[in-house]
Amino acid sequence: MTNPIPPAGDALRVAIASCIAEHLNVDAARLLAGVPFAEVIPDFDSLMLLEIVLLLEAKFELKLDEVPTGQAGGIVPLPLDLEELAGQVEATVCRLKYAQAGSL
């Protein structure tokens, strides 16, 4: 994967919400308003979160191994809403930037 730099801040949140809304046929505005995934996405669970993570990996050409999806041993709690998920994606991107800079 080439690890392009995805948008950050509000632009990242809009991109994630749009991606989820399009793929799962849910309301992006509710996601952006901070409504929990469980109230916006029917039958939301850790498998649905894994599907979302895989979708975002494909969209942003990233490996989001640090975003928890319910596997045993995870230190970070599952993201409950768009804000938490976007924060974890941004943290992953930040780690990748530092790792790439350190290897130069």
The pLDDT score that the predictor gives to residue 88 is: 86
Give the C-alpha separation, 68 to 66, whole Å: 6
Q: How far apart are CA 97 and CA 46, in angstroms?
A: 27
Rounded distance, CA 33 to CA 37, Å? Answer: 11
Contact 68, 92 (CB under 8 A): no
Q: In the prediction, which pLDDT does 28 show?
A: 98
pLDDT for 1 equals 46
| pTM summary value | 0.80
DSSP, collapsed to helix, strand or coil, labels residue 64 as coil
| First-last CA distance in the chain | 17
pLDDT along the chain (104 residues), means of 10: 69 96 97 98 93 92 68 67 92 73 55
